[in-house]
Each structure stands twice: as C-alpha cells, then as structure tokens.
Structure 1
Amino acid sequence: MKSLLHITNGDNFTSKLQSLHLKGDIITWREMLCEGKTLCAVGSESFWKTRFEFLNKNYKVSKSWFVEKTLKEYRSLCNHKQQDQIVLWFEYDLFCQINMLAVLSWLKTHRRHAEISLVCSGKEDESDKLYGLNELSDEKLLDLYDNRTILSQDDIEFADYVWQLYCSDNPIRLENLIAHNNFQFQYLSEALRAHLKRFPTIKNGLNEMENRILDTAASQKPESRAVLLNQVLANQGYYGFGDTQYNRMISSLKPLFGSFNPVKLTRKGKEVLTNKANYYSQLRDNQLYLGGSLKYNFLYNSTTDRILKL
C-alpha cells in the first residue's frame, strides 16, 4: 500500500478535506508568502526568522501564535518522511500560487523520491468565475482529486526556479520568464502578472490594488469602511487576499480619505485617482518587500506592462 500525505492551503479547507474521508494524513501550510520578504531556503532558520519579523511587525503576530500555528505544522511536515505520495491542494490566486511554489521548492530538496501531485481549483465551469476549493461540492472535489496532475521532475524543478526568481532582488527576471514561457501550472502566469502589478505605477505611485481601493470608494460610494472592504474583496481577480491584508492597505491610504462613514475621498485622493497627483513619496517605505525585491525600488508601467528599476 502506498502511503499518502495531503498538504492544504489553509485551515478552512483542511476541515473540508477531513470530511471527505480520504486516506492519508493532512498538513496545513499556514503562511502568506505573497507578502513580506522571502528567502530561497524554505524552512531554514533564517527563513522563519525573516517571516516572523515581518508578521510580527505588520500584523502583530505573537511569537507563541507563530510557533503554535506555523512552526508546529511545519515540524509535523518535516516528521512525515515515509509517505511516498504527496498531494498538494491549492487555488488559482497569487496568495495560493506563491505558497505552492515554496512548498514545491521545499519538497524538491527534502522529498526527492515521493510522487507529488497537484489539485488546483480555478476555472471549473463555463462561467468566468474562478472557484476556491471551499466553494466546490464534495463531488467536484473528489472528481478533481481523481484527476489530479502528477508533477514530473521537470515541473518541480521549474516551480523551484520560479520560487528562486520570486525571492531574487529583481522582479524584471520574473517578467521575462512570463513573456517567454509556456507554464505547466495553469494559473501561475496570471498570478505572477498580478504580483508584478503590486509594484507602484508610474502614473500615481499607487499599485493596482491600491488604485482599485480608491476607484471602488469613488465609483461605488460605500456607506462604511466595512462595505468598502467587502466590495474590494469581492472584486480582486487573481490576488486572493484576505480582509486583514486589505485593511492594512486601506490604513496606509487613510490620508486620501475624508471620511469612512460614508466613504469619501479627499480632494487629494481624487487627484491621485485621476493621475493628477503622485503619492509615491508619501507611501514609500524602504523596508517593504514583495518576495526578495524592495517594493519601492521598482515602478510598474501600466501602459507597456513593464517593470522599471529606479
């Protein structure tokens, strides 16, 4: 009998997977590597130290929570050495795809002889909707599981290579990769395009997500900050971010809002939104990383879809 290990994208889906009663143990990957600085050597002491510092500073994550939730689960993964089949459960969005790359990079180093397969949800019907794993019926999940993609050694090497590029100090290399590669991973190129749009635009110094927050405030006229947050969450394409991440973004843009009840932009906010003013210098933070690159050392040219180094 082959032994199985499932690695999931989060606690909510782990609960759902347990209810399907598939064979094998389940490990939950509790990280959000799409935010903050990342290092190539996944699981190393310096990797976890860097991650804790970011989460503690920006999300007030305590050491005890980090050890209990993230490190304990990672150690459990390290202790699962016997399984010869490992199934990854991830979704189409940037949040999931970056975590998936990190896990595959770790598996390449530490589980060289296991058969690794991937269940990845996204486009599941004729509509334009992209589905998260939790949105699918048990029947659909079992169907995806039965038809999961067995990853070749080349696929795993490629994922590791993309992870190395994500952790490098220059996102232009990722841009070149997207332009010249047919991806074996169905949703990865779109997720990486979304990643590049997180660098500030030349036009007003805000990135795509920050501009979307202002645009939603101006066009939808939400009654409150909570309504603004829900509207942004519902219309985020390939990002897959949670409310804590968007709340942090809204807080960084607070000077551009005259009121949150109802939501109104200041005159400056409207000027930034219409590219009549540039907010780059007010937002610039020399400690803010996207992967291995400093966010404010690069600009995104939305006209040409190219990254420029400052």
Structure 2
Amino acid sequence: MQQWIEQAQQGDDEAFGQLMQHMRGMAYAVSYDMLKDVQLAEDVVQEASIEAYLNLKNLREPAAFPGWFKTIVVRQCHRQLRRSTHKLQPLDESVQRPTDAPGVAELAERREGERALRESVGHLSAKLRVPVELFYYYGYSLQEISAYLDLPVATLKKRLFDARRKLRGALPVADLASMFNLFYEGGRKMLHIVNGDHVGDMLKQGIVQGEVLVWREVYPAGPIFVNPAGEQERALRAEVLEHSLGIPAAEYKAACEQQESSISGFQKYDEVVLWFEHDLFDQSMLAYLLHWFKGQKHGNTRFSLLCIGEFPGIELFHGLGQLTKAQLKTLNGTWRSIGRREMELGSEFWQAYASPDPSLMAGLLEQRREELTAAGLLFMHDAFQAHLTRLPSVRNGLGRCEQTTLKILQKGSCALVELFRRVTDLLHLLGMGDLEFFRYLQVLGEGDHPLVRMEGETSSLAWRQVPDVLNRRVQLTSQGEQVLAGLADRIAVQGMDQWFGGLHLQGHSVAWRWDDCGGGLVDYSTI
C-alpha cells in the first residue's frame, strides 16, 4: 500500500485508484456505521476520495495515510449528518440478489439469517462493531485495521474476541464468517491446509466450511531442497528420515506424493486458507507452501492465512493442537488475505533455508525483518532465527537443544517423558516433536564418549514401541559435564552427522557454528 501512496503523491492516477479500491471497504464501514444509510455512505466515500486526491501531496508520512484518510471520512460524515434530508435505507435491503435466486423456502431462511446476522452485529457497541465489520465483512487484515483505526493490534484482537463472546448467545460464533460468505457471496468452496491430524480431524467436524488437507512433513529434520519433489532429492530425504527418525522411506514417499496430488488441484477452490503456528516446525512448512504457491498459476483462487502464537487462557501456547473444538471454533474466519508479497517473502526464506550456506539465512533475517512484519508474517523471523541457534556452539559444540537438555540433567537424572516436556517447554519456538527429541538424545548417548546415559538397552530402541521407555531415567555423564562446562568440545569428542535445512555438518570438524554469546554465525572455514 505504501508504494501506491508514494506513486499517487507523484501524480500516478492509476496508483491512486488502486489505493482507493483497497481502502473503500474501510471507508464504507465507518461511514455506514455513522450514517446508517447506504446512499449517504456511498456519497461520503466518493467525497472523501476526492478530498484525499486533492490533498494527498500535503501528507508528509505515507505510513500515516490510513489514519489521515479515516479523519477525512469522519469529517465528511459529520457534514452529511448536518445537511442530510435523505430517507434512511437499511443495509440488508440494499443487498443485490443474484438473478438465479433460490426457492421461496430457502430465500426466506436466508433472509432470516441475514436479518439475525445484521441484528446481532448491530447490537454490539461501536468499538466492537466496526472491527467486526472490517475484519469479517470486508476481509481487511488486523494490521490494516490497526493503521486505519489507530489501535494496537493486540487491542483489535481483544475486541474481536469480546465480540465473538457476546455474539455466542444469539448467533453461532463459528458461523460468523461463513454466514456472511453464504448470504452475500453465495458461499465459497474452500480448502484449509493445516499441520497435524488432531487439528485436521477437529476442523472436519463442522468447524470450517470446505475441505481440510493435513500437510505431513518434518522440515526441521533431514536434508532440505528448494524442490523437495525431485526424484534424487526425495530419495535422499527419505533415506535420512528413515535412518534418523525411523519413518519408513516407502511410506514417506507415498505420503508426499499423495498430498502433492491433493494440493495440485487447488485452483478448483475459491479460497485456500493456511492454518499455522509460530514455531519453526510450522513456519518452515508455511515457507515451503508459500514458495510452492508462488510458482503456480492461481486463476481466481484467493489465499488467506491464519497464524497464531498465543491463545487467551493458555499460558504457554505450543500450538493449535492444544485447543478444544470450542476454542478452535472461535478462530474460524479470523484469517487474513495474503498475496504475491507474502508468497515472495516465504519463497525467499525457503530458498535460504534450503541453502548449504547458512549466511544467506542470517542475511535475510537482518534485511527482511520489517518487511515480514508489514506483510503479517509475524513469526517467521524468530522461527528461523531459532533454526540457526540449533547449530553447534563455538563454546562447546552443543546446539541449543543439546545445551538445554544437558543443563536440565545437570540438576539430576530425569524420566524421559519429563525431560521431553521440560525441554520442549523451554524451546517451544522450535516446535520439536517427540521423534526429533529422541533422536537428539540418542545421538548424545552414542559412541565411546556418551554425554548422557539412559537406563536399559538403547542401541536398537524403537522409542514409541517399548512400553516403559518413556519412564526410563536419563542422566548426565562425566563427559557431558565437561562439555557443558566448556572444558571439552562435543564435536571433537563425538563428531556429528546432522542436517540443518540444506546445511550438512559431519565429522569432527565442521564449517559453521553459532556464537550463543554474540548471537551470530561463525564461519570456521575461514579461520
């Protein structure tokens, strides 16, 4: 939007037209809320657009445009109120019906639904009603509404949450967005892409309109390629995941082919909604999907994103899988529209993640932070920053996960299940699953100089199949104590063979490390 503003200030009428088209819904929502008249609201939008066009050159800060334009809209509304002699026309009477109208019974039911919807929203206070209309009816993002209403995003989230709670008695909250689509757009054919079978199963129980595709991948583990669907690339990834996580290669390949076949037909949907969380597990998945969609022809399909890192009442939010069905319902319709800008950013991060040179990711994190925030990709920066901290430390060769694990064990032995819980609570930004953690632990206990030791035989342990494995105790060895204290180097002692995105570190001397004190990459190949 800022580009349109700057171009319009330089006299580009086409850019100004695009800007007004983008802002029209916001201006209309505020105008109608003040005037309660369709024609007057339309007049205000037109007059406000003319006033903005004539005075745009006087706006010093393009970023201030949304609030500046809202001031113009409100001023025009007050002018209309002073001089208005028009008869008020209810909004629901102005909605144009399609020529191929439904039958009498269906039409009556739909009109009653429209009335109930408008009446329920209309009974909200103005501070709740306007955000609801802008967010649900017009599809503006929280960031756009924040700039227009001059309210913090956190305040808007709270108001939307309060509005849904107040509407619960009069209207099924989960249906707010889908009801509007049905009444005013004739319904939409939607595809929801989500991580996790548990969440996917709940969404399929009537929480959302449309079909649900569960995307199954573990991008924080194994080798990553820009095009993971290549024959050689997939074969290598399948081989590594089978060896490290115990995922059968044939099953992995078949699952990939199946989900790729499902997503290839996305153009038959009116809208694709991506449901993801804040951690590396999900953000790497989101980056890949944005990269993939960037390379496709979209046709008339729209794209939306729901991405959260917290939920009211949950102190330590790990992900959507923590939510009940009722809690998930409150998220229905709270996604925001995304487009080429978000896909290009996601693609950049995916390509950097797949690169064998981690300095590309480090540079991107520094250069694109503000752009990610402006695009609403609020969690991508921190998630991929956390990815880099997994590299071995310059101090002792331990990555962030290993370091955290050994620090916990330094205080005393711990049952495996409790150790997993404590590590993942501390490192929730990684979104690490049980198989990933067990692999970290297994490697720490291997070789002639193990850093940890677990009760019982572990050389051929099938972590999920041994009944008592989760209750086995894990303890720190004397070698582990030395490494943790920085008196020995884990890489020199044990060596390593691990993938970090597209970077493969192996042997007793590795090219890249992470400075956990200074917070940056260190290229050992130049030392």
TM-score (normalizing by structure 2): 0.55
Aligned residue number for residue 129 of structure 1? 316
The structure having more radius of gyration, on CA atoms, is: 2
5+ unaligned residues in a row in structure 1: which ranges? none
**Candidates 197, 206, 213, aligned match of 1:11:** 197
Aligned residue number for residue 398 of structure 2? 206
1:1-310 equivalences in 2 (<5 Å): 1-113=187-299, 114-125=301-312, 129-180=316-367, 181-182=369-370, 183=372, 184=375, 185-219=377-411, 221-222=413-414, 224-254=415-445, 255-260=450-455, 262-285=473-496, 288-295=498-505, 296-310=510-524
Q: Which amino acid aligns with 2:400?
A: E
Q: Which amino acid aligns with 1:293?
A: L
- Deviation per CA, 1:113-138: give whole Å up to 9, x if none: 33111111212238763341122244
Q: C-alpha distance in 1, partners of 2:345/2:298?
A: 14
Q: C-alpha distance in 2, partners of 1:88/1:94?
A: 16
Q: C-alpha distance in 1, partners of 2:385/2:514?
A: 11
Partners of 1:42 and 1:102 within 8 A in 2: no
CA distance 1:139–1:229, shift in 2 (3 Å): closer
Q: C-alpha distance in 2, partners of 1:45/1:151?
A: 31
CA distance 1:198–1:284, shift in 2 (3 Å): same
Q: C-alpha distance in 2, partners of 1:25/1:259?
A: 44
- Deviation per CA, 1:229-280: give whole Å up to 9, x if none: 3322333230111111111111111111255464332211111111121111
Q: How many residues align?
A: 308
Partners of 1:5 and 1:87 within 8 A in 2: yes
Choose between structure 1 and 2: higher helix proportion: 2
The secondary structure found in structure 2 opposite 1:35 is coil
How many Å apart are 1:190 and its aligned residue? Answer: 1.1
How many Å apart are 1:93 and its aligned residue? Answer: 0.6
Q: C-alpha distance in 1, partners of 2:188/2:453?
A: 61
Partners of 1:37 and 1:291 within 8 A in 2: yes
Compare relative contact order (CA 8 Å, sep 6+) and give the higher one, 1 or 2.
1
Q: C-alpha distance in 1, partners of 2:511/2:498?
A: 10
- Deviation per CA, 1:211-238: give whole Å up to 9, x if none: 111111112531x333323322333230
Aligned residue number for residue 40 of structure 2? none
Q: Which amino acid aligns with 1:307?
A: L
Question: Bigger CA drift: 15-24 or 150-159?
Answer: 15-24
Q: Which amino acid aligns with 2:333?
A: D
CA distance 1:49–1:112, shift in 2 (3 Å): farther
Choose between structure 1 and 2: higher strand proportion: 1
CA distance 1:259–1:76, shift in 2 (3 Å): closer
Partners of 2:409 and 2:476 within 8 A in 1: yes
Q: C-alpha distance in 1, partners of 2:453/2:331?
A: 47
Q: Which amino acid aligns with 1:130?
A: F
Question: Bigger CA drift: 245-254 or 291-300?
Answer: 291-300
- Deviation per CA, 1:5-26: give whole Å up to 9, x if none: 1111121211111123422121
CA distance 1:304–1:107, shift in 2 (3 Å): same
Partners of 1:42 and 1:105 within 8 A in 2: no
Partners of 1:94 and 1:192 within 8 A in 2: yes
Q: Which amino acid aligns with 2:392?
A: P
The ranges of structure 1 where at least 4 consecutive aligned residues each deviate by more than 6 angstroms after the TM superposition are none
Q: C-alpha distance in 1, partners of 2:284/2:310?
A: 18
How many Å apart are 1:68 and its aligned residue? Answer: 4.2
5+ unaligned residues in a row in structure 2: which ranges? 1-186, 456-471
How many Å apart are 1:297 and its aligned residue? Answer: 2.5
Question: Bigger CA drift: 274-283 or 198-207?
Answer: 274-283
Q: Which amino acid aligns with 1:256?
A: L
CA distance 1:3–1:32, shift in 2 (3 Å): same
Partners of 2:359 and 2:521 within 8 A in 1: yes
CA distance 1:217–1:20, shift in 2 (3 Å): farther
Partners of 1:20 and 1:138 within 8 A in 2: no
CA distance 1:126–1:140, shift in 2 (3 Å): closer
CA distance 1:165–1:276, shift in 2 (3 Å): same
Q: C-alpha distance in 2, partners of 1:74/1:3?
A: 19
CA distance 1:298–1:12, shift in 2 (3 Å): same
Question: Bigger CA drift: 66-75 or 268-277?
Answer: 66-75
The secondary structure found in structure 2 opposite 1:6 is strand
Q: Which amino acid aligns with 2:302?
A: E
How many Å apart are 1:108 and its aligned residue? Answer: 1.2
Partners of 1:94 and 1:191 within 8 A in 2: yes
